[in-house]
Structure 1
């Protein structure tokens, strides 16, 4: 139960990132790259403060997963913000975590992690829902491709985090080492000065729903495994869609909800413990 609650809290943080990003970038409160830059710096500052508070100093967590984590995080942050210039909160999250699932399933196969047939079937059903929302003409091509790139980055980041001995320190170092990669790109892109709302949304996204949320994600990942983690993240688009409808007046179309039914059905089927299925002897 504790693992379930922690995973659910993490999914809420992920969904909040979609809503906050769309809220800032869509109406023009902040440029996409500027939002990513502020979000990254705020997350790095929050995580650095937590590490110093809890550990009393800095400790290098090792090279394992570091390069993949830094590159994956940087690609995710930039692709995510740029994509939300043309996608609503729910659709963006749906495309993002569909790509994440494919990436993490591939990682599970490469690492020879056991993948039960039921989980493959459930994930396949969820991917049918994702295909429905991504059919030609449903969304603009460039934002879709940018969100796919973000999903690949997040999938790589998540896979790199499975071996983290100290999840908080690993997350902090990933954020800090990503700053030199993202800031120059922001400078080259040209400044789009954010307003007070854009800055506030980026800081909350970076310090709270990203920094703290990702530290928690790295903590629960080893206990979930790559396959279950990928499936669990597919609940995020529905949460993000509800948040977008309530806060941004972006009610999802019928196509999204049809896709969401398939996605949630697939998640439920893939996540259902085998022992909870009724046996013929009890019928």
Structure 2
């Protein structure tokens, strides 16, 4: 499955979020404005819940009865960095007729790119596995948007995931006020996930971390003699799958994702976990519903 024209046409469903400038407000609600000594404001933007009130321009409020924040040169524009896992495990789907985890991650990535493009801001998009794979430097405009679609449609899935190395490489690209979005199944050891997210969080103003899972790998409705094929190592393992083994797997699967959630909380990132059978457009409204109220939670 590829990002098809039908999905692109449906992106207009997100226009309501564009009007609310969700991407800009997300970063605005998560940070405090910097005010360097001697810095003069260059313009204003609308106040968002969570902004520091000391930067409200009360003179403007006296004239308009609306809250506006003074903007300084360093925060005039927002750059969004979208990182998508392209390791072999992202090629998984229990039902061959359904979309893979990478298909789903690509839809979410393009949804973010659409929102950013509509707000006339810059975004960069990169895929990663054992390190960075394909990298699009941050730019703005429709050409950048369609280039992102082309990149994801042509992306080959291979190797394992090393978020720590990928983040180390990508952090050199983050130079301005940024929102970082990481989309992955996070099927790798927790220490490398932790180090990768910490490294990205140090460079980002705000970060959204999205975990993708196929319903089949969450439930594992199997039994009896099985041959399991590891997508990332090409190894085949024979097992006898019992209800007890299924329960043990479920406990470990949930524990791993909960640990990723805790890491996100520690670094100040918002964590979301979604199955691939959930409408991707519902996800954007679910994520931004909290943002519009100036509230962020680790879901």
TM bucket normalised to smaller:
under 0.3
Higher strand fraction: Structure 1 or Structure 2?
Answer: 2
Q: TM-score, normalised by structure 2?
A: 0.25
Normalising by structure 1, we get a TM-score of 0.26
Greater relative contact order (Cα < 8 A, sep 6+): 1
Structure with larger Rg:
2
User: Whose helix proportion is higher, 1 or 2?
Assistant: 1
